[in-house]
Structure 1
Amino acid sequence: MSANVVIIMNDYTKMGGVEKVTSNLSKLFMSSNIKLFGIISLNQEFNEPKIQYPVEMPIFLMSIEEIQKFIQENKITHVIIQTQLLKETVEILKEIKELKVKKFPILHNTPYAYLNYFYEKNNLKGFLKYLKMILVTKQRSMYFFRKIVELSDKFLLVSKKAEIELKSILPIKFHNKISYIYNAQDIQKENNVNFNKENIIVYAGRLAYDKQVFKAIQLLEPILKNNSDWSVEILGDGPEREIIEKFIIDNNINNIFLRGSVDNVFEYLSRSKISFLYSLYEGLPTSMLEASICKNVLIGSSSKGGISDIIENNVNGFIVENDSDFVKKIESLIENDILNTNLRNGNSIVLKKFNNTRILESWEKLFI
C-alpha cells in the first residue's frame, strides 16, 4: 500500500477516549500494510502520556502553522485529524488546503454535542451558558461543520447513528462526503480477558452531569437495598463525585463503591455481569465496547450518538427510554439469571461489526 499516513490530535498526553482510540488505531495500522509515519500532537500538557502508544511510533509536537511544511518534507499522502475542537480542525484543514493529500477528519462525538445544551439550566450560570449555546455556539458549530465537510475528502463519524445525525442537519449536497468507521479495538486486552462473573453492576466513565451517573445511582439505590447480594462499582472521577459520595453516606449504602480512575478497567468488567451508560449523549462509548468484549449485559439510554450502535435491544442488552424503564430492566436482569446469561452471550453477535479486520478494510478502501 502506497499510503503514508499521519494522525493529528490535540494532545497525546491526556487520558481520554480520543487518546485511547488513537492509540488503538495506530496499533492497528502498524500491524498492517498501512504505513503510519507518526502522530502530530498540537499540545503536551504532561511530560509523559497517560495512554500507552506503540514504542516504535514517532510522536511530533508542533503548531498548526508547522504542519504544512512537515507534510511536504515527509511526503505524507493521507492525514487523519482527530476532531474534538471544531475550530481547530477547520484551521488545520485550511493550513493544508493546497496540499495534494487526502484529508479525513474524524468526529468523536455526536454532532448534537456541539448544537444542543445538555447541562443544568436551573441556576444563573447554567442559564447563561444555555443562552450562549442557542444564540452563538450553535450557529458557529454549524458553520464549522460545513467548512470541515467542504475542506475534507471524507468527514468521518465513529458510529452509524452519528453519521445519520450529521446528514440530517447538513444539506444533501454534503452527504456523499460524510461516512463512518468504527473505532479500532485494543486487541491485546481483548485477548487477555479472564471471566469470573459476580453479581456486580459497573459504570466506567466521567462523573459529570451529562453522564447522569448520580441520577442512575439514585435509581439503583432501592434496587440494591432489596438485593444485598448485588453491588455497583463506579469507575472514574469528575465534578459529581462529591455529591455521589454524600448520597452514599447519607443513605447508609454499603454496596455502591466509588473506585476513582483505575488502570485495570478490564479486571472490573470481566468480574461484573451488567454495565450501564445513562448519558445524555455519546460518540461511540469505548467503555461499553469494552464491557461488551467482557460479555456484560449492556444498559444504555436512548440518547444522541452511538450507544445504539453497540446495544441491540434483546440481543446484548437494552436501550431504555426513561427512568422507570431503566429500573425495570435492571430488576429483570437481577431476577432472571437465564435472561442475564442469554444477553451476555449475545455480545458475540453484535461485536462482529466492530471486528478490527473489518475496520482495517474500511480504512484501506479510503486510502486507495
Structure 2
Amino acid sequence: MLNSNNLKMKIGILVYKMSGVGGVEKITSEKVNAWIESYGYDVVLITKCEAETPFFYEINKKCKRYDLNIPAKLRSGVKNYIKNIPSAFKLYTELNKVMRSEKIDVLFTTMRGIDSLVVPFVKIRIPKVSEIHGSGFAHNRKAWILKSLIINRYKKFVVLNKSEVDYYPLDNIAVIPNFIDNSDYNYSKNDKKNIIISAGRISREKQFDHLIDIWSIIASKYDQWEVHLYGDGPIEILREKINAMSLQDSFKIFPSTAQIKNKMQDASIFALVSATEAFPMVLLEAMNAKLPIISYDSPNGPKSMVTDGKDGFIVPLNNKISFAEKLELLINDALLRENFIENQRMKLDMFSKKRVMNQWNDLILEILAKK
C-alpha cells in the first residue's frame, strides 16, 4: 500500500509570486515548510514572475526555487484571452522544462484565468491539483461551464469550504480549508489594549473604507479606543477619508508587517469588512491571537469559520449600522469578549496545521495510487 513513509516524493508548487503579503503567500509558505519538515518530501517552488524580489514569508532552505520570468499581469475577457496567448505558450514551454528536469511527481497550482487552462496540458501524465483561494461568488458561472471541460483535467480542484462547491460545475472537487499553526502563547487579558485591529492588502474588495464609516458612527463615544489597520496599497484615499471625518487621532494605518501576530496579540477585537472571502487566513490568525471577531457575512468564508454569537459576530454583508452595533457590544462587554475567545479553542483544533496537512497528504497519496 502506498504511504508517506515509503514514498520519496517531489512536490511542485506553481504560484504567481511569493513576495506579497497575503493569505495565498502565507499558506503556501506554511505548506512548503510542512512538506519538507514534517513529511520529508522534496519541494520545488515555481514562481511565474518574481525576478529578484525577496519572499515576504520564510521558506525552508531545502526548497528548490525557479522563476519562469513571465509577466504575471492578466486581464479577463475574450479579447484579452487572445492577447495572453503568447504568454500562455511561454508558460507551457518554461513549466515543461522545469517539470522535466526536476522529475516532479505531483504539481499544485494557484493559477487563474488562461494560465489555469494551460497547466493541465504540461506533462500530461503528471497529476496536477488546482487550488482556488478566492470565492466563486464573484465568478462568471456561464464561463465556468465552458472552462470545466479543461479544468476537469486536473486530478483535483480544491476549494476552501463546502459552500464553494456549488459554484463550480466540476466532477473532481475536494474541500480542504486553510490552517493555522495553533501554538499557544502566555495570554493574559490584562495585556490587551483598547485596539480594534484589521489587516489585509489595500484593495477594493477588502472594503476598508467601510471600516472607516463604521468607526465614524461610534468613535465619539469611545475616545479611549483606536482602530489599527495593517496593509499595503493605495492608502491615500483612505487617509483622505479619515481626515475628512476627523478620525486621524483614532483610526491609524500602518504598513504590512511580519510581526502581525504580535500586533494582534496586543489588540482586543478583530474586524473584517471584505466584499468576498473564501477562507480568510487572517481570521485564523486573529483566533490564534485570542481575538474576538466581528465580520461581514462575506461570501462564503467567515461563516464557515465563525459561529455567530458563540465565538464571534457575523453581520449582514455591507450593513454598516449593524456592524457598528455589534462592535459596540464587544467594546462594552469584556466578559463577552472572553467568552468568544474561550469558545474559539475548538475551531483552532479543527483548523490545526497537523490536521489539515494530513488532509493534503491523504489527497496526494490517493492521487498517486490512481496514477
Q: Which bin holds the TM-score, normalised by the shorter protein? A: 0.7 to 0.9
SS in 2 for 1:318: strand
**1:147 has 2:144 as partner:** no
Q: How far is the alpha carbon of 1:145 from its aligned partner?
A: 4.4
Q: Give the TM-score normalised by structure 2.
A: 0.83
Q: What does residue 121 of structure 1 align with?
A: none
Q: How far is the alpha carbon of 1:238 from its aligned partner?
A: 2.7
Per the alignment, do residues 360 and 108 of structure 1 end up closer, same or farther by CA in structure 2, a change over 3 Å counting?
Answer: same
Per the alignment, do residues 31 and 140 of structure 1 end up closer, same or farther by CA in structure 2, a change over 3 Å counting?
Answer: same
Q: What does residue 55 of structure 2 align with?
A: 49
Per-residue CA deviations over 1:111-130 (Å, capped at 9, x if unaligned) read 12333xxxxxxxxxxxxxxx
Contact 1:81 1:105 in 2 (8 A): yes
Q: What does residue 109 of structure 1 align with?
A: 134
Aligned with 1:200 (options 186, 195, 200): 195
Residue correspondence of structure 1 range 78-157 to structure 2 within 5 A = 78-83=106-111, 85-97=112-124, 99=125, 101-115=126-140, 139-148=142-151, 150-157=152-159
Per the alignment, do residues 203 and 353 of structure 1 end up closer, same or farther by CA in structure 2, a change over 3 Å counting?
Answer: same
SS in 2 for 1:296: coil
**1:65 has 2:93 as partner:** yes
Per the alignment, do residues 342 and 194 of structure 1 end up closer, same or farther by CA in structure 2, a change over 3 Å counting?
Answer: closer
Q: Give the TM-score normalised by structure 1.
A: 0.83
Instruction: Report percent identity of matched pairs.
Output: 23
Q: How far is the alpha carbon of 1:146 from its aligned partner?
A: 4.5
In structure 2, the gaps of 5 or more residues are 69-90, 366-371
AA aligned opposite 1:335: N
AA aligned opposite 1:86: G
Q: What does residue 327 of structure 2 align with?
A: 330
Q: What does residue 275 of structure 2 align with?
A: 280
Contact 2:45 2:64 in 1 (8 A): yes
Q: What does residue 43 of structure 2 align with?
A: 37
Per the alignment, do residues 251 and 37 of structure 1 end up closer, same or farther by CA in structure 2, a change over 3 Å counting?
Answer: closer
AA aligned opposite 2:127: K
Aligned with 1:243 (options 215, 237, 240): 237
What is the rounded CA distance, in whole Å, between the counterparts of 1:287 and 1:30 in structure 2?
A: 24
In structure 1, the gaps of 5 or more residues are 116-137
**1:211 has 2:206 as partner:** yes
Q: How far is the alpha carbon of 1:36 from its aligned partner?
A: 3.0
Q: How far is the alpha carbon of 1:141 from its aligned partner?
A: 4.7
Q: How far is the alpha carbon of 1:142 from its aligned partner?
A: 4.4
Aligned length: 332
What is the rounded CA distance, in whole Å, between the counterparts of 1:208 and 1:5 in structure 2?
A: 32
Contact 1:42 1:64 in 2 (8 A): no
Contact 2:184 2:288 in 1 (8 A): no
Per-residue CA deviations over 1:77-113 (Å, capped at 9, x if unaligned) read 2111123x2210111112232x2x2211101111123
Moved more, 290-299 or 209-218: 209-218
Q: What does residue 167 of structure 2 align with?
A: 166
**1:349 has 2:346 as partner:** yes
Per-residue CA deviations over 1:251-287 (Å, capped at 9, x if unaligned) read 3221111113223211210011111111110122121
